[in-house]
Amino acid sequence: MFVIIGIADTSFVAALAKSPPPLPVAIQQIIDDDAAICRQLTGRRGKTGDMVRRLDANGDGLTDYLVFSGSYVCPGALSAFTPTATAGVSTYLFLGRADGQIQRMWSGDSWGPEITQQGRRTTITFQMTGIACGDDRGGEVSVADRYSCKLELRPDPKGRWGLRSGLPSN
């Protein structure tokens, strides 16, 4: 019996070592809000999927978080978390601070992040469409004919984070 306890205890310690640290309160609140929407629409909580991404967005070696509600999995209420032709889904960037806290640096609607890592540099881009790409024609053109572009989430020279223009892809 003593050996069995030792094996079970080792499994428990190994499981703890593999689990990521708990999420900051502000991020957990976004998850809880999405869960409440899902529960209201379907009667179930849903799952976070890969809506929270840990990364180092600014290269300072601290853990930052990119949260994309479009990755929240809510069977039966897919449209509540899916970008439409004219509107994206809530997206947030939180930067880690040296004191262990996080700070929200940007939030907006997007059609989903694409994260690439090159050395210490993390690039966060979004394929966007319509007014975000300078297309102010609105209802004058079909959704398929609207301008699209890839925008990068990065700080300006004053450190304010935002979507910065790239070349139009249409």
Q: Residue 160: inside a domain, yes or no?
A: yes
CA 31 – CA 13 distance, rounded (Å): 27
Token couple for 13: 């310690």
Q: Residue 10: inside a domain, yes or no?
A: no
Per residue of the chain (170 residues), what is the pLDDT tens digit?
Answer: 444 444 445 554 554 456 667 999 999 999 999 999 999 999 998 999 899 999 999 999 999 999 999 999 999 887 788 876 667 789 999 999 999 999 999 998 888 899 998 877 899 998 887 777 877 877 777 767 777 888 999 998 999 999 888 544 44
Q: In which domain, by residue range, is 136 found?
A: 20-164
Residue 41 has a pLDDT of: 93
What phi and psi, each to the nearest 5 degrees, are found at residue 43? 85, 0
Question: Model pTM?
Answer: 0.79
Residue 69: how many other CB atoms lie within 10 Å: 23
Side-chain half-sphere of 8: how many Cα atoms within 13 Å? 5
Residue 73 has a pLDDT of: 92
The one-letter code for the residue type at 10 is T
**If we measure between CA atoms, which residue out of 37, 17, 149 comes closest to residue 51?**
37
What phi and psi, each to the nearest 5 degrees, are found at residue 159? 85, 10
Residue 9 has a pLDDT of: 52
Residue 146 has a pLDDT of: 75
Q: Residue 13: inside a domain, yes or no?
A: no
Nearby residues of 21 by Cβ (< 8 Å), 6 or more positions away: none
Residue 40 has a pLDDT of: 94
Q: Residue 6: inside a domain, yes or no?
A: no
- Give me the number of domains the chain comprises: 1
Q: Residue 109: inside a domain, yes or no?
A: yes
Residue 62, SS3 per DSSP: coil
Q: Residue 9: inside a domain, yes or no?
A: no
Residue 92 has a pLDDT of: 96
Q: Residue 81: inside a domain, yes or no?
A: yes
Q: Residue 68: inside a domain, yes or no?
A: yes
